[in-house]
């Protein structure tokens, strides 16, 4: 059975977090690899960060690092595909 976006996002956050916090670099590296295929999963990651009460700073760091990880061509393609 295919996973839905929320299930996939929860699994990603579980994979890249522990009692020490969120491994932003590893999470963003993975998100940058799946963003073109699973765009809504990436969106759900941010929603779940809110649900799990991660700080605003964590949200911002994930957003900044994710943009850094996505290569320019993929970012342009992503924006164009969502217009």
Encoded tokens for 69: 């990880």
pLDDT category of residue 25 using cuts at 50, 70 and 90: very high
Average pLDDT for the chain: 88
Within 10 angstroms of residue 76's Cβ, the number of other Cβ atoms is 11
The CA-atom distances, in angstroms, between 13 and each of 17, 47, 75 are 6, 11, 22
Question: Are the C-beta atoms of 31 and 45 separated by less than 8 Å?
Answer: yes
Residue-wise pLDDT for 43-83, tens only, equals 999 999 999 999 999 999 999 999 888 877 777 777 787 66
- pTM value is 0.78
Residue 17 has pLDDT above 80, yes or no: yes
pLDDT for the residue numbered 79: 75
């Amino acid at each position: 059975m295919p996973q839905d976006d929320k299930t996939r996002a929860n699994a990603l956050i579980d994979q890249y977090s522990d009692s020490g916090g969120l491994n932003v670099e590893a999470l963003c590296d993975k998100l940058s690899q799946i963003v073109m295929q699973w765009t809504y999963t990436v969106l759900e990651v941010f929603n779940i960060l809110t649900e799990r009460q991660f700080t605003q700073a964590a949200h911002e760091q994930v957003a900044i690092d994710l943009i850094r990880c996505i290569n320019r061509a993929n970012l342009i393609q992503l924006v164009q595909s969502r217009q």
